[in-house]
Amino acid sequence: MKIENLKDIVLVYLNFSSFEYSQVSIGLASIYTFLKKNGINVKIVDTSVYTNLNEIIGQIKKINSTYIGISTTEMHYNIAITLAKHLKNKDNKIIIGGTFPSLFPADCLSSSYIDYACVGDGEYTLLRLLNGENISEIQGLWFKDNNEKIIKNGISAIFNINDFEITDYSGFPVKSICSGREFFGEKIELSFTWSSRGCMYNCTYCCNHELMSKSKIRYRDARNFYEEILFLKKEYKINDFFLSDENFLTNINHVNDIIKSYPNNIGQIRFGFLARPENINYKNIDLLRKLVKIGWSWVSIGIEFGDEIKRREKLNRKHSNEQIITAFKICRELGILTNAFLITGFYFETINDILITDKLLRSCNPDNVECSFFFPLKGSDLYKYYYSNNLIIKDSIPRSYFDTISIIHPNFSFEELNIIKNYWDNWNHNSNIKMIINYLANARNANKVYKSLGGKC
């Protein structure tokens, strides 16, 4: 390594949350860890600790790094460009990376404030850049030449996620590493960690399948996974963890490794994860029981939409309502707390679908329900429909799926979508479905819609 070429970088984490808590960016933490391990002077600016953009800009300028890396999703892209506009000068280079730049690097480089776009994993690409290598030869680094022509350096080499045992979270504020929150009615200190990267599914509302065309699913060595949990327990006095894996239960061999590698010295822990309902079934009940023995305590299950025909044909979610009900039934039998996740705002959603979803929830009896607004992500199949039918509100990019509507719905007004979301967020078996259905039906002069529980909007 040529020490004289080493430079410094500040990584900007656009951590804007609709919730009272924040969480660590696993991807940015990996880059931070890898660069530090290789001798790079790297700092993180986590926006959650600042009250406005001026404070964020001031902090970045105060650090005065040669390179400024901004990690962004599509949702925060406009904020990223605003920051770049205020930070760009003749003495620095601004790099944009993350999910959106990986999918649409040319769009990002259309901004005069962006010098480089990082396509794919950022660890190896940034290290090569910071070590002073010829930018024309750095895989995954896109840029414009002197004639404004975009030089496309392909996709970065896929990062070996077992390059280090413990992720270094020290660059983040403590409130992002471990946050106090009310979780299923209990106040706890919770920390996020991970055991895999990537998703094998192809849901029409998600752009993960496009990202996976540039990468692959990777699994963390179980020993490294536990080394990190032991570190977080000791360093931050944390016993409760949520795994950021897209679908923890998909790879049975990986889950078995996690179970078999459970260390005797770890003490008591509790953990939860995201799961698809078809992966919680009686065929793998023995595996699920073993997970309970090592601390599995809660799960968030994606239902998304109650009508299984529309869910299959419109969302490419192949599981049946029977599989969903079975998954929640098994969790109750095992003593696992459940969160049911829904999405409202799909163009094909009708009043009748609210009835169907409500009926499904009553059969599942989840401990909590969470709902987001649909946002048409570029790169997803559903985006094409919304775009071609002029159903996207121009320049309306929300900071979160949970607080802003960015689409025009064929059947529901903004007010009605907010009412639907609020109903799901506060759902329980005593929720009055008649009230919301009558309200929506009256808005369309369709007062008989509830009578048969089968009215169509």
Domain residue spans in the chain? 3-151, 175-443
pLDDT above 60 for 452: no
pLDDT above 50 for 1: no
Token pair 């496009």 is found at: 210
pLDDT for 262-302, tens place per residue?
999 898 899 999 999 999 999 999 999 999 999 999 999 99
Give yes or no on whether 3-151 and 175-443 have one common fold: no
How far is residue 224's CA from residue 214's CA, in Å, rounded to a whole number?
Answer: 25
pTM of the model: 0.90
- The residues, ordered by sequence, that sit 6+ positions from 202 with a Cβ below 8 Å of its Cβ are 208, 209, 316
How far is residue 40's CA from residue 32's CA, in Å, rounded to a whole number?
Answer: 9
Give 319's pLDDT tier (boundaries 50, 70, 90).
very high
Contact yes or no for 29/91 (Cβ under 8 A): no
pLDDT above 60 for 143: yes
Nearest by Cα to 170 from 62, 68, 37: 37
pLDDT for 205-220, tens place per residue?
988 777 766 668 899 9
Fold for domain 3-151? Answer: Rossmann fold (3.40.50)
Give 18's pLDDT tier (boundaries 50, 70, 90).
low
CA distances from 371 to 154, 216, 281, 341, 360 (A): 37, 29, 24, 6, 15
How far is residue 94's CA from residue 82's CA, in Å, rounded to a whole number?
Answer: 12
Can you give the pLDDT at residue 444? 56
Name the token pair of 277. 């309902």
How far is residue 276's CA from residue 130's CA, in Å, rounded to a whole number?
Answer: 40
Longest dimension (CA), the chain: 77
Least confident of 6-15, 205-214, 306-315, 379-388: 205-214
Give 252's pLDDT tier (boundaries 50, 70, 90).
very high
Can you give the pLDDT at residue 448? 45
Nearest by Cα to 191 from 239, 225, 158: 239
| Architecture of domain 175-443 in this structure | Alpha-Beta Horseshoe (3.80)
Q: DSSP assignment, residue 66?
A: S
pLDDT for 408-439, tens place per residue?
999 999 989 999 999 999 999 888 888 888 77
Can you give the pLDDT at residue 20? 58
How far is residue 192's CA from residue 214's CA, in Å, rounded to a whole number?
Answer: 25
Nearest by Cα to 383 from 142, 39, 103: 103
Query: Across all residues in the chain, what is the average pLDDT?
Result: 90
The sign one gets for the Cα dihedral 449, 454, 456, 457 is positive
Contact yes or no for 324/301 (Cβ under 8 A): yes
Q: Which helix (H) or strand (E) holds 350?
A: none
H-type alpha helices, 238-299: 252-260, 285-293
Q: How far is CA 294 from the centre of its chain?
A: 25
pLDDT for 337-391, tens place per residue?
999 999 999 999 999 999 999 999 999 999 999 999 999 999 899 999 999 999 9
CA distances from 105 to 72, 95, 99, 135, 214 (A): 12, 11, 10, 16, 13
pLDDT for 373-385, tens place per residue?
999 999 899 999 9
